[in-house]
A and B are shown apart, each in its own frame.
Chain A
Amino acid sequence: MAAAQPAQRGSEVVAGGPQALMSVRGLGIRFKTSHGVWQATRKIDFDIAPGERVGIVGESGCGKTITGLSILRLLPNNLAGLDGSIHFDGTDLASCSTREMRAIRGRRIAMIFQEPMSALDPVFTVGHQIAETLRVHTGVTKEEARERTLEMLRRVGIASPERRIDDYPHQLSGGMRQRVMIAASLICGPQLLIADEPTTALDVTVQAQILELLRDLSETSNTALMLITHDLGVVAETCTRMITMYAGEVIEDAAVDDALVRPLHPYTSGLLRSLPHLSPRHGKLPSIPGRVPSIMDMPNGCRFKARCAHAVAGCEKEQALLDAGNGRKVRCWRFRELDLPGALQHAATAPIAAMVASP
């Protein structure tokens, strides 16, 4: 995706290139709580091109899930404010009417969640639930909806869909339920699929099946994928671009291979170093000292500086998402001076190298 955006001069990110399907600019979410208003995320900028697969990574509480939900405006009642803009194929989702939003939600942008059992209604058959999406949005006949549901079930790899279409969710295994959710989300042929930890509740062998399915479907139907996950391995296997979030901000945005080989932000590098895959067996695992600052007490400037080995005077200044060339962006003013280790340096000595080496 590096070619999609020519290197820009200066530090300001220019709104959506001509090819962007979705351009998020300055997105921020505030919540009302009994302790006042909390800023959950702020200054979120990123683009997704048609058919592109983008991973949003970060640890719990970094704001990745709420960013996904805010695109569909599925926000809790204690919302205090939604700032910025979300330009999606000509419409600003942050400011459009509820009616416009409802026509987009489920039809042009679909979403799947971590736990398919809580997203499926236990009292309706899976066929009914998939067809419902189609009938609400397109008004096709019952027969045609059933026909297309069968076809969709087949495409997501459900064996004997004629039999499964009339099953209730409890009759299906976890992996099949997630396939049903994917079928329901893709039946209207959306331009963007937001998947929030879609494989976290699944076993590793089933996870491999679902990720392969998402990759294939995205490629064959040119559906863009926004994959929200804490698992860098999942992003590496599925996505082409990786956006790293920390404490409510985007701190790095790069092609997956670039971010893994040469991360520009100390936090991305720290995350890669802390993975046991990439560490010598039985050795001490590197970790990031300290913890994420509290949402009630965010520091000025760089939010990672208290945990950062490279922090110096100047990091307390407000940090912009800087253009690092080749379509890369990073929220660290020192990125040009730092030479941070990525996955490659560690992998050479780690057990994973042996696993990879075998043909």
Chain B
Amino acid sequence: MTPQAANNAIVSVRDLQVGFQTTDRRAIVKAVDGVSFDVRRGETFGIIGESGSGKTTIGRALVFLLKPSGGAILHNGVDPLAMPRQQFQSHRRDYQIIFQDPNAALNPRMTILSSVLEPLELARAGSKAERLQRAHEAMDRVGLPQDLGERYPHQLSGGQKQRVVIARALTLRPKLIVCDEVVAALDMSIRGDVLNLFAELQRDLGLTYVFITHDLAVVSHISERIAVMYLGRFVELGPTEKVSERPLHPYTQALLSAEPRPLPSTMRGNNRIVLQGEIPSPIDPPSGCRFRTRCQYAQAVCAEKTPDWRELMPDHWVACHFADRPNFSPN
């Protein structure tokens, strides 16, 4: 969809759909419903959205932990699902994912070192000595002292555990890492350290990140581009500065204005847009524009016609019938 797609896209997503059957098997929840984007090599691509928007589902589909029910995900221009099984298995090692809660991601009965070694063992990478060396390198890389290797997860702090999970993802030298709410469980004073680590690893190892979070401050700090998701679709996608300072979609505008700002009252301004109601059910989403039920600018056309995904400004995409009207934006 984006023009410069083919050459520098490490991941290309085309009209992606992921559906889940409800437990009573009567309906399909379309968690992701027609999303297209490219992730460019070496960038950090941020996806923000509220709970139920489908952002985590996209993240899992990108590394094929979930199978798309429609559309395609290409890694480096190739569809991994078309690969023979064995090739697919080794291909996946280049695309890793890190989750929010390191406690759930680490086996409490395995030492830190054996957790970090496990991906290498599963991949049968090199000799035993080489595997050990690579595990130690990865721990070193994330700033974990080697003697922590003999300990168990409960003996580590939250920040250290998240570093272990990062080290484990690095052992197979991936090209891309999907980071799903990786700092949400960490305390404020530690969050900065872990975000700095991600930035440093990207610089040194040429990694590409897909950074999924509900936290606007985090995503706009770390990402080059941000996609805003609402009820299974992207509503806006563009360079971080543009999206966070000159948002085009009314939902992005509301999301930005709802973020509580740690600023004195004189600096906070009074431009809050308080949305009414909550995100509708993805089982039966509103017709046309999915945000129209909560949008202060909604017109009749918004219920009738699904807004096109348009590149309104260079590299800045939006799905809204009225985003190009000059009097529309509160800016």
- B-binding residues in A (CB < 8 A): 59-60, 173-176, 203-209, 211-212, 230-238, 256-257, 260-261, 270-272, 274-279, 281-282, 284-288, 291, 343-344, 347, 351-352, 354-359
The 3 closest A-B pairs by CB, nearest first: A233-B260, A285-B192, A287-B192
B284 contacts partner chain A, Cβ-Cβ < 8 Å? no
**Hey, which chain B residues are within 8 Å of A208, CB to CB?**
257-258, 260, 272, 274-275
Q: How far is the CA of A274 from the CA of B196 in the complex (A)?
A: 11
B300 contacts partner chain A, Cβ-Cβ < 8 Å? no
- CB of B294, distance to nearest CB on chain A (Å): 8
Contact A256–B264 (Cβ < 8 Å) = yes
Instruction: State which of A233, A281, A359 has its C-beta within 8 Å of the C-beta of B259.
Output: A233
Contact A257–B189 (Cβ < 8 Å) = no
**Hey, which chain B residues are within 8 Å of A237, CB to CB?**
260-261, 268
Q: How far is the CA of A291 from the CA of B191 in the complex (A)?
A: 12
B220 contacts partner chain A, Cβ-Cβ < 8 Å? yes
Q: A291-B157, A351-B244 are in contact. Are A234 and B275 (CB under 8 A)?
A: no
**Hey, which chain B residues are within 8 Å of A276, CB to CB?**
191-192, 195, 217-218, 220-222
Instruction: State which of B189, B222, B267 has its C-beta within 8 Å of the C-beta of A274.
Output: B189
**Hey, which chain A residues are within 8 Å of B261, CB to CB?**
233, 236-237, 277, 352, 355-356
| Number of A-B residue pairs with CB-CB distance less than 8 Å in the complex they form | 157
Q: Please report whether the interface of chain A is mostly helix, strand, loop or mixed according to DSSP.
A: helix
Q: How far is the CA of A208 from the CA of B191 in the complex (A)?
A: 23
- CB of B235, distance to nearest CB on chain A (Å): 13
Q: How far is the CA of A212 from the CA of B275 in the complex (A)?
A: 12
**Hey, which chain A residues are within 8 Å of B221, CB to CB?**
276, 279, 281-282, 285, 351
B298 contacts partner chain A, Cβ-Cβ < 8 Å? no
Instruction: State which of B187, B218, B255 has its C-beta within 8 Å of the C-beta of A59.
Output: B187
**Hey, which chain B residues are within 8 Å of A257, CB to CB?**
264-266
What are 12 inter-chain pairs, A to B, with CB distance below 8 A? A203-B214, A203-B279, A207-B258, A208-B257, A211-B260, A257-B265, A271-B189, A275-B217, A287-B192, A288-B189, A352-B263, A356-B267
- A-binding residues in B (CB < 8 A): 50-51, 157, 159, 187-193, 195-196, 199, 214, 216-218, 220-222, 240-241, 244-245, 254-269, 271-272, 274-275, 278-279, 330-331
Q: A230-B187, A282-B199, A347-B267 are in contact. Are A236 and B260 (CB under 8 A)?
A: yes
Q: How far is the CA of A28 from the CA of B262 in the complex (A)?
A: 29
**Hey, which chain B residues are within 8 Å of A235, CB to CB?**
262
Q: A59-B189, A206-B278, A285-B195 are in contact. Are A351 and B264 (CB under 8 A)?
A: no
Contact A285–B196 (Cβ < 8 Å) = yes
Q: How far is the CA of A282 from the CA of B275 in the complex (A)?
A: 30
Contact B188–A356 (Cβ < 8 Å) = no
**Hey, which chain B residues are within 8 Å of A291, CB to CB?**
157, 159, 190
Contact A275–B188 (Cβ < 8 Å) = yes
Q: How far is the CA of A282 from the CA of B211 in the complex (A)?
A: 14
Instruction: State which of A175, A207, A277 has its C-beta within 8 Å of the C-beta of B217.
Output: A277
Instruction: State which of B245, B259, B267, B271 has its C-beta within 8 Å of the C-beta of A344.
Output: B267
Q: How far is the CA of A59 from the CA of B189 in the complex (A)?
A: 8
Q: A59-B187, A208-B274, A209-B274 are in contact. Are A356 and B245 (CB under 8 A)?
A: no
Contact B216–A204 (Cβ < 8 Å) = yes
Q: How far is the CA of A203 from the CA of B215 in the complex (A)?
A: 10
Contact A343–B274 (Cβ < 8 Å) = no
Minimum CB distance partner of B189 in chain A: A288
Minimum CB distance partner of A235 in chain B: B262
Instruction: State which of A211, A238, A272, A274 has its C-beta within 8 Å of the C-beta of B191.
Output: A274
Q: How far is the CA of A288 from the CA of B275 in the complex (A)?
A: 36
Known: A354-B244, A356-B261. 9 other contacts (CB 8 A): A176-B278, A203-B279, A204-B255, A211-B260, A276-B191, A287-B191, A291-B157, A351-B245, A357-B269
**Hey, which chain A residues are within 8 Å of B275, CB to CB?**
205, 208-209
**Hey, which chain A residues are within 8 Å of B188, CB to CB?**
59, 230, 232, 271, 274-275
Which one of B50, B195, B264 has the greatest number of beta carbons of chain A within 10 Å? B264
Minimum CB distance partner of A173 in chain B: B278
**Hey, which chain B residues are within 8 Å of A59, CB to CB?**
187-189
Q: A59-B187, A284-B196 are in contact. Are A204 and B50 (CB under 8 A)?
A: yes
Q: How far is the CA of A161 from the CA of B300 in the complex (A)?
A: 28
Q: How far is the CA of A15 from the CA of B24 in the complex (A)?
A: 61
Q: How far is the CA of A320 from the CA of B131 in the complex (A)?
A: 53
**Hey, which chain A residues are within 8 Å of B268, CB to CB?**
236-237, 356
Q: How far is the CA of A40 from the CA of B266 in the complex (A)?
A: 37
Instruction: State which of B214, B218, B264, B265 has its C-beta within 8 Å of the C-beta of A204.
Output: B214
**Hey, which chain A residues are within 8 Å of B220, CB to CB?**
276, 281, 351
